[in-house]
Structure 1
Amino acid sequence: MIRQVNIEPIDLRQDFLETPPITRDEAIAAFEACVKQVEANMDYFQDKFPWSATKELKYPIIENIEWTDGFWTGMLWLCYEYTGDEKFRALAERNVDSFLHRVENKIELDHHDLGFLYSLSCVGGYQLTGSEKAKRAAILAADQLLTRWQEKGQFLQAWGPFNSPEHYRFIIDCMLNIPLLYRVSQITGDPHYAEIAQKHFETSCKYVIRDDASAFHTFYMNPETGGPDHGATRQGYNDDSAWARGQAWGIYGIPLNVRYTHQLEYADLYRGMTNYFLNRLPEDHVCYWDLIFTDADKQPRDSSAAAIAVCGMMEMDRQLPEDAADKAVYRGAAANILRALIKGYTSETCEPGSPILYHGVYSWHSGKGVDEGNIWGDYFYMEALMRCIKDWHPYW
């Protein structure tokens, strides 16, 4: 049975209905500014990768070892798809070589973030070029992700030693990892990958989303019974608050899964999560890093969460019938937030090592990437713009 949650009325319904859509010209101008920054960063990173977030608004350069490295390659593929310029393809293909080496040698892959790493880099590369290397890397990555499968609890374990009771948990972020499994099912013709993806999605929807349609970041299952235990956070303000990026992962994760399963019965769960998010936006409609905060709290924004949510609303727009409840409202909300990002969260200057999207938060508790750029924010902002420019086929 699909989880039923509260669906709040949208407070700014009329404002969103009156929001003009992002024009193709607006999107092209913003995307071409992104292309210029990517070009500058290609010279800066060379064949290496940006760290997850900037430090003093410059990306540190790292080897291919982080969970976030696929976002940079995804940005290269977006630039190649838009421009047709072979320099983007050439660097992206060298990145694919690095990803194949990483998965063949299992370098820093003992976690669930294989989708973030391999969907944008290798599934995207295979989709655009037919590369056999990219295909092989994507399949091996899906196989590696399946090693996190907990049959008793019906979920993919997030981190930690596989048989450790204290790590018997999953997080809402994994909704963006499991599309890798659906795609590899399509590529190989083996339904097992998709079956695991759907089971994890169903478990997530049952437990990580609260009755009020907000989300836990982390949900612990009982290692003895495989049943639910408790929700908690590692990223949000506290266990009972709604971490903005986690809420956005749900807003995008649900339509991505619906894209493969065609289960529109999950639309109400999407509506609940999206309405909760929209009703807690500050005056400029770009969320604080946790939805518990208001303008009076003077907390950092998380522009990356805003960009993820926009992509989710745009993806669900494809899935919903034209007469679906609030479909036009979500279109207006997505345009409203994206326009705020274009106008207030980017820079007119272009310097090597700089982010595209400013004012993001990686991890407030650890002090990492607070009021900085982060590489997934850059990627999702570009994806949202690409969706405004053309009928784009996701790499997810």
Structure 2
Amino acid sequence: MGVNMLARRKCSVEILKAVVMRVAVISLAFAVPYVTAGRQLSEGRSLPFGVCYWRQGSLINNISTGATEDLEHCRFEVRDPEFLNLLGSSPKFVEFVKTSAHEGAVWYPDKNELYFSSEKFTGLNGDPRTDLKKVNLQTGAVTVLSTPIEDVPNGMVLDNDGNLLVCQQGSENKLGFIQRINLKTGKKTVVADNWFGVPFNSPNDAVVTRDGSIWFTDPDYGFVQGFRSAPKVNNQVYRISVSGVVDAVADGFTKPNGLAFSPDEKRFYVADTGFLIGNPGQYDYSRPHSITVFDVSADGFLRNRRLFASVGVYDGSAPGLGIPDGIKVDTEERVYAGTVDGVQVFAKSGKPLGLIRQPSVANMGFAGKDLDILYILNETTISYVKLKAKAAGLKYASMF
């Protein structure tokens, strides 16, 4: 549009500007592979329904950043052609069930159930509450499990024996801890609740390695959101050995959040949601909105910390930046991050591939016998999309 307006001007100076602008636009088209007018790829393939391209905009020239088509018709937004291979020839986004769904998205293959936690709300006594829930993936029936109100469950993961490990954030009356729930018997045990006698801040999300170690993040969200006392230690990442010993393995984060390992467990990814101070609408632009990656040494400790991806918003219009929350990894070491605009997908190199558009995604998880169905939680809905990918790091689920 800007080019056409300039071309209509009669002044020779403005005509020159138009020529320069046209050259810039042509250069931009070559810089973004396969972006063409309409829905046809240069190689002759048609874009599937619901799929569109992302474009780089310009603030100075009033060219919007984001989808090349109406967002109503763009559920999948492509930044790199590799994303098309992940989506397949006819991707479908399905809104599965309406329910308060915030964290977790853990598949229990024995009963084809997905476990998750609700948004935090206020109970009858004014205490903070988060329900631990499950949904039957065959029928869509949602069940609220009986968990103590003061625990405030958040992220979770299956251990290698099929038990559910839950990050319990705690409250003013109860410390935060990592809980193990035997899904066959219902028995609950405390795995760990302190580091050198210091209570955890608010255990947030967890992952389990092949040797049975439990890794989890511990930001101070309980304090900044008003349901925990002031922290006594900085926001660290911890590892619990199979014998129950707790070690701090990484710090230097503002709000460590989602975490995941590469398929070979040689690299470790951690999301930092420090940009979001605590409550929705409170931001600090000087704080992180990124994913960090470490190398894992032979003794299980971390080294060579570096930036994997700084996360923004695809259409440039959200009140803030990407704020990566839960993260997952597939067998090709693509990294999936829940963000305010959906699920952003990155290549192993950190290159952005594309976006599965859905507002306010906190976490997601793979399910199904081929571990290729991505279930997405966005506070009010559980949705899913079948991908040309397979989840990594789900030892128990991989046995089925």
> Relative to total residues, which structure has the larger helix share, 1 or 2?
1
| Structures share fold, TM-score greater than 0.5 | no
Shorter-chain TM-score bucket reads: 0.3 to 0.5
> Relative to total residues, which structure has the larger strand share, 1 or 2?
2
Larger Rg: 2
Tell me which of the two structures has the higher relative contact order, counting C-alpha pairs closer than 8 angstroms and 6 or more residues apart. Answer: 1
